[in-house]
Amino acid sequence: MSENQFRVTEEESNSIEIKSDNCCGPDCCSDEKEIIAAGETEKSVKLSNKEKSSEEIKEMVKRKYSEIALQSREVNASSCCGAGGCSDEVYNIMTDDYDELKGYNPDADLGLGCGLPTKFAGIKEGDTVLDLGSGAGNDCFVARAETGAAGKVIGVDFSEAMVAKARLNADKQNFNNIEFRIGEIEDLPVNDGSVDVVVSNCVLNLVPEKLNAFSEIYRVLKPGGHFSISDIVLSGELPEKIQKAAEMYAGCVSGAIQKDEYLSLISKTGFDDVKIQKEKEIIIPDDILIRYLNEDEIRDFRKSDSRISSITVFGIKN
């Protein structure tokens, strides 16, 4: 593909019309409004996200992340991955600070991550790096600083609005070895055995078919290649009302699976030397939980053994 195929002007990026009613007041960002607006029946509002089809979930997430592409970093950082409403109690719920990483571009940082996978990825000069769910290009630009002009960075995202934003950011820096492609993680637009390193930041929890996603990662990696992925995992069960909330799926919470299951899927795919590089607990503030739970339910959830965590996990394809 030629470089010109991936050039997007600022005017073209701004012309993508996405109507967003996202806000931080107590009466907006309603889960029911989100689902009915997508043309589903009221009965479907009561379905758990786990009961929705893969295509329904993908469409819900795509719609939400097209809106998130237009939000500020401050709004995204004070919410769960830009969804579920903003918190006045906590400024930064999930994200880690990229400021000290070489190649960091604030324009590409939408505050949607839950770790620093590129910091732990062991990227070498000349590597081909693939970023899954590349958003506005944040981890791609950090990876480009590591792999240098001799390497190549590919970002894949299924939101056209995100890809347009990322291409514009790349054009502003005159990078000719960063390419952003529209595609799905379960069916990557990337050749077999063509990638040295895969990174991803708080995205695979959004993918309905996670085993397919890890199988695709395995397929595109070269023998000896590896991944470093930051993601949200669970220990214990989330309250049912959280599981049913579309906003909390898009917010990287209700789509998360148990940590042991997550690590098992990676090993089942065939990866070796699987290890957790970093782990931290994620605390969702009460002023976000109150949108879905009453005060007694919040208290019970806090007292339970259930935990939401961010992990950065590593694996090698031998």
Alpha-carbon span 318 to 7, nearest angstrom:
36
DSSP 239: P
Q: In this prediction, what percent of the chain has a pLDDT beyond 70? A: 74
Q: Are 121 and 228 in contact (CB under 8 A)?
A: yes
Q: Is residue 5 part of a domain?
A: no
The letter for the amino acid at 230 is: S
Q: What is the mean pLDDT of residues 258-287?
A: 95
- The dihedral formed by the CA atoms of 193, 189, 170 and 115, expressed in degrees to the nearest 10: -70
Q: What is the pLDDT of residue 192?
A: 98
Cα 223-206-33 angle, rounded to 5 deg: 165
Dump pLDDT digits (tens) for 31-67: 333 332 333 333 333 344 455 678 887 787 777 777 7
Q: What is the pLDDT of residue 316?
A: 98
Q: Is residue 258 part of a domain?
A: yes
Q: What is the mean pLDDT of residues 188-208?
A: 95
Q: Is residue 52 part of a domain?
A: yes
201: containing domain: 27-316
What's the mean pLDDT when you consider all of the chain?
80
Q: What is the pLDDT of residue 148?
A: 96
Only one residue has tokens 């879905």, namely: 292
258-267: which pairs have CB atoms within 8 A and are 24 or more residues apart?
258/233, 258/234, 259/233, 259/234, 259/235, 259/309, 259/311, 262/210, 262/231, 262/233, 262/311, 262/313, 263/313, 265/210, 265/211, 265/214, 266/214, 266/313, 266/315
Which secondary structure element, helix H or strand E, spans residue 59, and what is its range?
Answer: helix 54-68
**66-75, 120-129, 242-251, range with the lowest pLDDT:** 66-75
Alpha-carbon span 245 to 291, nearest angstrom:
10
Q: What is the pLDDT of residue 74?
A: 55
Q: What is the mean pLDDT of residues 11-19?
A: 36
Say if residue 296's pLDDT is above 60.
yes
Q: What is the pLDDT of residue 57?
A: 78
Dump pLDDT digits (tens) for 165-195: 999 999 999 999 999 999 999 999 999 999 9
Of 292, 290, 211, 269, the C-alpha closest to 49 is 292
Q: What is the pLDDT of residue 61?
A: 76
Q: What is the pLDDT of residue 303?
A: 95
Q: Are 143 and 166 in contact (CB under 8 A)?
A: no
Q: Is residue 22 part of a domain?
A: no
Alpha-carbon span 20 to 34, nearest angstrom:
11
Cα 286-237-266 angle, rounded to 5 deg: 115
Report how many domains make up the chain: 1
Cα 44-208-192 angle, rounded to 5 deg: 150
**46-55, 89-98, 170-179, 248-257, range with the lowest pLDDT:** 46-55
Say if residue 158's pLDDT is above 80.
yes
Only one residue has tokens 């806000």, namely: 23
Alpha-carbon span 63 to 25, nearest angstrom:
20
Q: What is the mean pLDDT of residues 205-227?
A: 96
Alpha-carbon span 238 to 289, nearest angstrom:
12
Q: Is the dihedral of CA 66, 155, 136, 292 positive or negative?
A: positive
Alpha-carbon span 14 to 12, nearest angstrom:
5
Q: Is residue 20 part of a domain?
A: no
Alpha-carbon span 73 to 118, nearest angstrom:
19
CATH code of the domain in which 165 resides? 3.40.50.150
Say if residue 11's pLDDT is above 60.
no
Q: Which carries the bigger pLDDT value, residue 145 or residue 57?
A: 145
Q: What is the pLDDT of residue 94?
A: 76
Alpha-carbon span 52 to 70, nearest angstrom:
27
Q: Is residue 104 part of a domain?
A: yes
Model confidence, pTM: 0.78
Alpha-carbon span 154 to 143, nearest angstrom:
10
Say if residue 201's pLDDT is above 90.
yes
Say if residue 243's pLDDT is above 90.
no
Q: Is residue 18 part of a domain?
A: no
Alpha-carbon span 159 to 285, nearest angstrom:
28
Pairing of strands 307-316, 221-235: antiparallel
Q: In this prediction, what percent of the chain has a pLDDT beyond 90? A: 56
Could you tell me the two tokens for 296? 């007694």
Q: What is the pLDDT of residue 41?
A: 30
DSSP 173: T
Q: Is residue 4 part of a domain?
A: no
Q: Is 171 helix (H, G, I), strand (E, B) or coil?
A: helix
